[in-house]
Chains A and B, each alone.
Chain A
Amino acid sequence: MCLALPARVLALLSADEAVVELGGVKKTVSMALTPEATVGDYVIVHVGHAIGLLDALEAERTLALFAEMAAAGDAAAAAAQAQAAAPGGGA
């Protein structure tokens, strides 16, 4: 019910309608709630309406943060394993 997906704005049709592309599918949605969106932007589409914009720069930053956290996690896991495997380790 609350799921919404990012879609790219392909063309603005009128003051409050646009064609967006959602995973290869084209759809006409209402832009009344995101009047600032322009062609090429990513919007979050829910029940036929764009409810907000997706900030591409922030998305990249979040992904970079994940990668950093995951690498730190992997390193911690490897260290713990090495300690457990070392003779007398983990005791």
Chain B
Amino acid sequence: MKYVDEFRDGAVARGLAAAIAAELQPDRRYSFMEFCGGHTHAIARYGVAELLPPQVRMIHGPGCPVCVLPIGRIDQAIQMALDQGAIVATYGDTMRVPASQSLSLMKAKARGADIRMVYSAADALKLARQNPQREVVFFAIGFETTTPPTALALRQAAREDLPNFSVLCCHVLTPSAITHILESAEVRQYGTVPIDGFVGPAHVSIIIGSGPYEHFAEEYRKPVVIAGFEPLDVMQAVLMLVRQVNQGRAVVENEFTRAVTREGNLAAQAAVAEVFELRERFEWRGLGEVPYSALKIRPAYARFDAELRFGLGYTPVPDHKKCECGAILRGVKRPTDCTLFGTVCTPENPMGSCMVSSEGACAAHYSYGRFRDIPVVSVPA
């Protein structure tokens, strides 16, 4: 595929790995957090971890919207479908995330809940037009990439004055999550989770631009390199981060210039600003309540706000006792530190959210990295 395959060339990847190795200072270690699940996926799938010198460690961050969605939010969606008889439309990725009472959206559907998988927010609107006698709720999740399409759908619903459409808004913001991680005890007490720099979001930055990351670099003295999701992009970003660390610099650099500008997509930002405003606090799985880290629907669009329309309250629900997703999302633990990994918890039967999406750390390691854990034993001749 044009502009995809060229960024996966194996020979160039090995050359980049050698370039990284040549620049490392022999006496230090480098730890970089890749914020996005898209990077986690690429690192596992294309063996980037194996190509990187052992001195460089990649820490998986909380950048998968499916993984950070707390149980209490999925419960709300299930409640609307099961108790209020609404049609709940959602992206496929959220269907298998475990919720309370051993339910998930998929299992609720088996119990008779009307839950429909949609490909876009516009499809949810279509459902509302086709079912005028039913309430249709779009369970909207995602970072800054899926938010503008939800904003367009809300604008369109208002234009058509659709009486039976609403949105359960669970859109979250990337920059506040990164700040939260940098403020966390684990990172501040350097040593539990050392972070020397960030591989910054690719597609999120298409929308918001690279500008919003500039203050981390300045305030927290951490380099950020915005990088595309192909393996060569990630390797180039690591090289750029290594150079910044070596030179004692901490600025925002953009590896993904083919799609990201400093300002981002202004049309998308305008649509989002018209429909949404900041939420004071929002619970993230693994990070707890993060102030100003999510969006809610503006009063002008209140009639399309499912939380108001159905009088939904939010109840936080703790994760499965043994699931380590929370610690994994903060970069404190690795998937293999979880006793359920690969035995009780698999992509077919996930116990936690990190095993659901292919961009989750557990699923990525299960699908592509598992065999690295098995020591190679040579059979004596």
Contact = CB atoms under 8 A, between A and B. Distances in A.
Interface of A: 1-6, 8, 22-23, 30, 32-35, 42, 44, 46-49, 51-56, 58-59, 61-63, 65-67, 69-74, 76-77, 80
Interface string B53-75: 00000000001111000000000
Contacts of B206: 44, 51-52
Given A6-B3, A33-B267, A66-B16, A48 B123 contact: yes
Contacts of A34: 265, 267
A6 B120 contact: no
Nearest to A29: B120
A1 B17 contact: no
Contact of A53 (B148, B202, B259, B357): B259
Contacts of A2: 36-38, 63-65, 142-143, 145-146, 201-204, 359
Given A1-B65, A2-B38, A2-B64, A58 B22 contact: no
A91 B202 CA distance: 44
Interface string B260-281: 1000010110010000000000
Contact of A33 (B7, B91, B141, B265): B265
Nearest to A60: B258
A70 B267 contact: no
A11 B21 CA distance: 46
A6 B6 CA distance: 12
A56 B145 CA distance: 21
A73 B203 contact: no
A13 B120 CA distance: 19
A23 B263 CA distance: 29
Contacts of B265: 33-34, 51-52
5 contacts: A42-B3, A51-B265, A56-B258, A62-B258, A74-B15
